[in-house]
Structure formats: structure tokens, C-alpha cells
Amino acid sequence: MKTLLKRAGTTMGILLLTVNLCLKANAQTGVPANYIDEGFKNNLVLQQKKVSLEKALNDLQTAKSLFLPSVDFLAGYQSANGGRSIDIPVGDMLNPVYSTLNQLTNSKQFPQIQNVSQQLLPANFYDARVHTTMPLLNTDLIYNKKIQEQQVTLQNYEVEIYQRELVKNIKTAYFAYLGALQSIQIYEASAQLAEEGKRVNESLLNNGKGLPAYVLRSNSEIETIQAQLTNARLQADNAKAYFNFLLNRPREESVDPNFNATDSLQAISTLLINEPDFNSREELKSLKEAVRLNETVEKMNRSYAIPKLSGFLDLGSQAEGWKLNEDSRYYFAGVQLSMPIFAGNRNNIKIRQSELDVKNAKLGLTQATEQFAITASTAKNNLVATYKVYLSSLKQLEAAESYQRLIEKGYKAGTNTFIESVDARNQLTAAQLAKNLNLYKVFVAAAELERQTASYNIHK
């Protein structure tokens, strides 16, 4: 590692100079920030994640509302005729008394009355009331509210996890597009060299100094380069289409190719020095929150024996014949207590189940921690390797450029063959492509390390 950094330091000047010759630099660093912001705003999958977060927030509001009184207006009307009835012997009880009173008073002030028969089903009866209920003591509501709060936290982590993944995908797609554009430029330059070689061979042939085979070889080389150029253009179109897909834009919409490779490479040199820290990953935070959520469920299950107390109050009016007066109005209030006595051992089974859920969540957290440590270390090593390969490709490109100049000069002077000049041009093209490919591999590897260490600031 130290040797690599020393080599990187000695070649940084050449590195930055070559990059400036290959790419147009501006004030931006990395992928233009507006593309990341646009992805956060428009990406369809991210919008779905945010909808899930909103649903979790609504569930939390519902859990909070369960602590408030519930008020309903209830009304009913009943009317019946026949059915069971109850006989009230009013006449049998009072008529002898009334007869005696009439005899004593020598009058008929106390008439005889009939026995009464009252049917049990009401006739023309209404009951209208405002029914209010409120929990007074219910531990399930307390734990349910806490669980919903933890669910909101989990959903928020889900949004942030996908945001980080989206940042990595946007950067990878952007670098793939830039790499394809650079490949197009390389093939176009190579095609110009091949056309010049064809022109020279035709001129030599016309002057009796060349061979027809050299002209045929030039035509074949030009066709090969044109096929490679067509393929590079298709790759650029595909990369642009995927990049625009991530941002939920039309596939043909233009993409800004300006990219400050100098500043980005300087930032990467910092990544090479620092040890990767994966502890800020939202995945770990989410798993820790999942452990706490399962512990909350366990506590809720253990509180099953705590009594539940609720109260109710009815304010209303009921009477026959739609009467509304002092006699019809009423209130009815009370409290209800619920305490479990026997449930076939189901509560103990739920407690055991929740204990296993907690244990499983903790094991998942431990496994994920170890896995993230490995992936972060692997991403760091991959970045170091790609950076070293890129530095090597710069030297190879420098050698290929020097070799091509010497061979081309010798070919024009007649000291080198046409085959040697073609080979030199092919080596130059291959070196340019390798340098271009390795450059963007460095940026992609840096984006992966950034993802594994959650170092990108998504809360700007």
C-alpha cells in the first residue's frame, strides 16, 4: 500500500496532465450535482419508497389517535306487534280496595280497572344517543405506538438505502457514457490515421513505389475501424438511455459530457489513504432498529397479564311515540375491565416466538456487520488495483505514442514496412482505449467504495 502511494505521488503530475489532454475540465467535480438531485426527485423506484414512508407515517398517526376518545352517534328505531307479553294483575290487586273505598265514601270515585297485558317487543320505539369510549389503561396501545414509530424509522432508512444505491448507479452509468464518448473519439482519430495511410499507399502505388496489397490492407483496416466506431456509438446510445432511465427522462435527452477528472482523481487519492469505515451505512442502522423493534414486540407480549381498563358514556333519548321530554332523556356511563385468566398457553408461546425473533435479528445484524466489513475492504482493494492499472496504462500509452511516431516516420522514410506502421497504429489505439477504460474503471471503483462506506452526503 505504501509503495503504491509513493508511485502514485511521483506520477501524479503526469497523470493530471494526461487527463487534462483527454477530457474537458470545468468547475464541476464528479457527476454534475444536478443529475443526482434530479435522480432523487424523479426516479420512479425512489418515489415508491417515499410512498411507503408516507404510509408508515399515516400508520403512526393512526396509532397515536387510538389514545383519544372515540365518539359516535347511534340511533335506532323499533316497532313491533305481538310476540311475548307480560300480564300485570293491576285490576285484581286494586279493584277490592277501590270497592271498599267506594262503600266507605258512599260514592263511585274509584272505578274498577282492568288487568294490563304489556308486550315485550316495543312498539314505535326510538333510541338516539352519543356513544363515547376511551381507553384508560391499555399497554398494547403504548407498544403499538412505539412499534409504528420504529416502522417509520425503518422506512426512512429504506429510502436512504435506495438513494445511495441510486447515486452509485447514476455515477456508473454516467462514467459508462463518458467512456463510450471517449472511445468514439479514439476510433475517429484512428480512422483518420487509417485514411491518411490509405492515401499514402495509393500515392506510392501511383508512383510505382507501392504495392496493391498495401492499399487493400488499408481498406480492410478502415472497414474494421468503422465497425468498431459503429459499435462504440451504439454503446454510447445505450449508456445514455440507461442514464436517462435512472433519472426518469426521455432516452434521447442530452447528457452533459463535461467532467472534471482532475479534482475527482485528487479525491480518489484521499480514498486510497483512508481506511474504509462502513459503520455509517443505513443498512446497519436499519438492522439495529429491527432488533429494537423485535424487542418492543417481546415486551408487548410479556405485558399480556396487565389489565386493560376502558370507560364509556352514553348521552341520549329513548321513548315510544317519538316523545322527547325529561323522561326520555338519559345518560349511561361505566368502566370495563379485562384481565386474561386462561388462554391455552398461547401467550407464553407468543413470548417464546418473539424471543426467537429478537435472537434472529441480532444474528442477522452480526452477519451483516461482518459482510459489510468484507465488502468495504474488497471495494477499497479494487480501487487500489484499478488505480494502479490506470497508472500503468498511462505509461503504456506514452510508449505506444512514441513507438507510433517513430514507425510512422520510418515508414515515410522507407526504413519501416507498412505492416509495421499498421501494427504501431493498432498498438496506439489499443493503448488509448485501455487508458480510457482504466480511467473510468477508477471512477466506477471509487463510486462503489463510496457506496460501501456510505460516504456520499445524501442530506445536502
Secondary structure of 410-421 as H, E, C letters = HHHHCCCCHHHH
Classify 128 as helix, strand or coil: strand
* Digit-coded pLDDT (tens) for 222-269: 888 899 899 999 999 999 999 999 999 999 899 988 888 877 888 787
| 61 or 106, which is more confident | 61
pLDDT (0 to 100) of residue 260? 80
pLDDT tier at 275 (50, 70, 90 boundaries)?
Answer: confident
**Span 453-458, average pLDDT:** 89
pLDDT (0 to 100) of residue 21? 33
8 Å CB contact between 257 and 181: yes
pLDDT tier at 85 (50, 70, 90 boundaries)?
Answer: confident
| DSSP 8-state class, residue 327 | T
Query: Is pLDDT above 80 for 202?
Result: no
pLDDT (0 to 100) of residue 192? 84
pLDDT (0 to 100) of residue 210? 67
From residue 109, alpha-carbon distances to 90, 91, 100, 101 in Å are 17, 16, 11, 8
| DSSP 8-state class, residue 361 | H
Percent of all residues in the chain with a pLDDT value above 70, rounded to a whole number: 93
Any domain includes 107:
no
When mean pLDDT is compared across 46-60, 105-119, 427-441, the lowest value belongs to: 105-119
* Digit-coded pLDDT (tens) for 382-430: 999 999 999 999 999 999 999 988 988 887 777 877 778 778 888 888 8
Percent of all residues in the chain with a pLDDT value above 90, rounded to a whole number: 56
Any domain includes 327:
no
Contacts of 45 (CB under 8 A, 6+ apart): 162, 166
Instruction: State how far the Cα of 344 lies from the Cα of 335, in Å rounded to an integer.
Output: 27
pLDDT (0 to 100) of residue 30? 65
Any domain includes 423:
yes
pLDDT (0 to 100) of residue 408? 82
Query: Is pLDDT above 90 for 286?
Result: yes
Any domain includes 89:
no
Any domain includes 443:
yes
pLDDT (0 to 100) of residue 25? 31
Edge-first strand order for the sheet with 308-320 is 70-78, 125-137, 308-320, 329-338
Query: Is pLDDT above 80 for 92?
Result: yes
Q: What is the CATH number of the domain that holds 378?
A: 1.20.1600.10
Any domain includes 84:
no
Query: Is pLDDT above 60 for 167?
Result: yes
Residue 272: alpha-carbon gap to chain centroid: 29
8 Å CB contact between 297 and 354: yes
Query: Is pLDDT above 90 for 205?
Result: no
Instruction: State how far the Cα of 331 lies from the Cα of 333, in Å rounded to an integer.
Output: 7
pLDDT (0 to 100) of residue 399? 93
pLDDT tier at 273 (50, 70, 90 boundaries)?
Answer: confident
* Digit-coded pLDDT (tens) for 95-151: 888 888 888 888 888 888 888 877 788 888 999 999 999 999 999 999 999 999 999
Any domain includes 33:
yes
Any domain includes 268:
yes
Count of domains forming the chain: 1
pLDDT (0 to 100) of residue 19? 34
| 396 or 18, which is more confident | 396
What global pTM score does this model have?
Answer: 0.79
Range of the domain at 66: 2-72+138-309+344-453
- Which helix (H) or strand (E) element contains residue 429? helix 418-453
| 59 or 17, which is more confident | 59
* Digit-coded pLDDT (tens) for 311-368: 999 999 999 888 899 889 999 999 999 999 988 889 999 999 999 999 999 999 999 9
Q: Which amino acid is at 332?
A: F
